[in-house]
Amino acid sequence: MAGFILKRCLLMIPTLLGVTVIVFVMLQIVPGDPVNSLLSPDATEEDRQRIEQELGLDKSLVGQYFSWIGNTLQGDFGRSIIKQLAVNDLLFDALGNTFILAFGAAVFAFSLSLIIGVYSAYHPKSWIASLGNIIGLTGVSIPNFWAALILIGIFSVILGWLPSAGMKGIGGGGISDTITHLILPAIAVGMTTLGVMTRMIRSSVVDLLQKDFIITLQAKGAGSFIILMHVLKNCTPTILTVAGLQVGYLIGGSVLVETVFSWPGVGQLIYQGITQRDFPIIQAGVLVISILFVLINLIVDILHAVVDPRIRQA
């Protein structure tokens, strides 16, 4: 098991290095110049050179890359070009809010998909099975930012039941206020995961119910609960694999949803950095989300190996 974990950890290194190179190169080729946002209309060439030197933009691209990587390995993401604040503080404050949103979306998507998926497999002609088909098709077809706009239009504008923006009401509030603000963005972020997981769980359970060992259990008179436990146990490796990928998506794929709902998370921070050409924020935000995605998949691989020992031999 130790060798399996070590192998997976070593595979993370080239993945993350590749991410840093891609992020750095992409920022160099996008249009816009962060120095222009700091210069006044009457700025001179000397002013431009001074700012470039302060930001380290006077170095070669290779020098800028290694300077950024060196500082990052020391836990220093630099300073925001526009806000002139430490990126570490901005990023980790926002990261906590993104975790709250991702957790709410995961609870919504995973619990509902498990209930609907299993019930649909056992009762394929029920109205819940039809609902599962609709959820599965809708979840994977509608972009989450479009779902966010629809939810705001129905539940905030028309019905007036739920707030449409922010994490707390005016003047702040308690946990109940945060939960109220969390409902719509969590549903919007979790809809795709709900659709994917519902379809996957239903198809996996249907397939297992036709296996010989399940038929044998039924012939021996095993109770429905015992059979369900056997089905879920054999579904667990598949569910873990898909769920791990979806958790990474819930954390990293909520950029537009956070922007639509003005949710103060990493997604909105990256979006603001893109619009303002604030390179340190963009680089740090994308890198941290990538690290989280890779770590989550590492944890899923380990759990998968625990549940199914055959994986350790792969």
Whether the per-residue pLDDT at 253 is higher than 70: the answer is no
With a CB cutoff of 8 Å and minimum separation 6, the contacts of 40 are: 47
Residue 263 sits in which domain range? 87-144+188-313
Angstrom distance (rounded) from CA 75 to CA 24:
17
Q: Would you say residue 128 lies in a domain?
A: yes
Residue 300 covered by a domain: yes
Q: Which of 136, 117, 122 is nearest to 209 (CA)?
A: 122
Quick check: is 12 in a domain?
Answer: no
**Which residue(s) pair with 86 in the sheet?**
79
Q: Residue 174 domain-assigned?
A: no
* The pair of three-digit structure tokens given for residue 34, joined into one six-digit string: 């962060």
Where is average pLDDT lowest: 30-34, 129-133, 219-223?
30-34
On the question of pLDDT at 313 being above 60, the answer is no
CATH number for the domain harbouring residue 259: 1.10.3720.10
Distance CA 189, CA 257 (A): 7
Residue 263 lies in a domain: yes
Residue 202 has pLDDT above 70, yes or no: yes
Total domains in the fold of the chain: 1
**308 in any annotated domain:** yes
How would DSSP label each residue in the chain? -HHHHHHHHHHHHHHHHHHHHHHHHHHHHSS--TTTTTS-TT--HHHHHHHHHHHTTTS-HHHHHHHHHHHHHTT---B-TTT-SBHHHHHHHHHHHHHHHHHHHHHHHHHHHHHHHHHHHH-TTSHHHHHHHHHHHHHHHS-HHHHHHHHIIIIIIIS--S--SSSS-TT---HHHHHHHHHHHHHHHHHHHHHHHHHHHHHHHHHHHTSHHHHHHHHTT--HHHHHHHHHHHHHHHHHHHHHHHHHHHHHS-HHHHHHTT--SHHHHHHHHHHTT-HHHHHHHHHHHHHHHHHHHHHHHHHHHHH-GGGGG-
Name the residue among 145, 118, 106 with its Cα closest to residue 245: 106
Q: Is residue 207 part of a domain?
A: yes
Asked if residue 8 has pLDDT above 80, the reply is no
Mean pLDDT of 128-157: 81
| Position 54 in a domain | no
Give the tens place of pLDDT for each residue, 291-311: 888 887 777 777 766 766 665
Spatial distance between the Cα atoms of 147 and 136, rounded to a whole number of angstroms? 14
pTM beyond cutoff 0.95: no
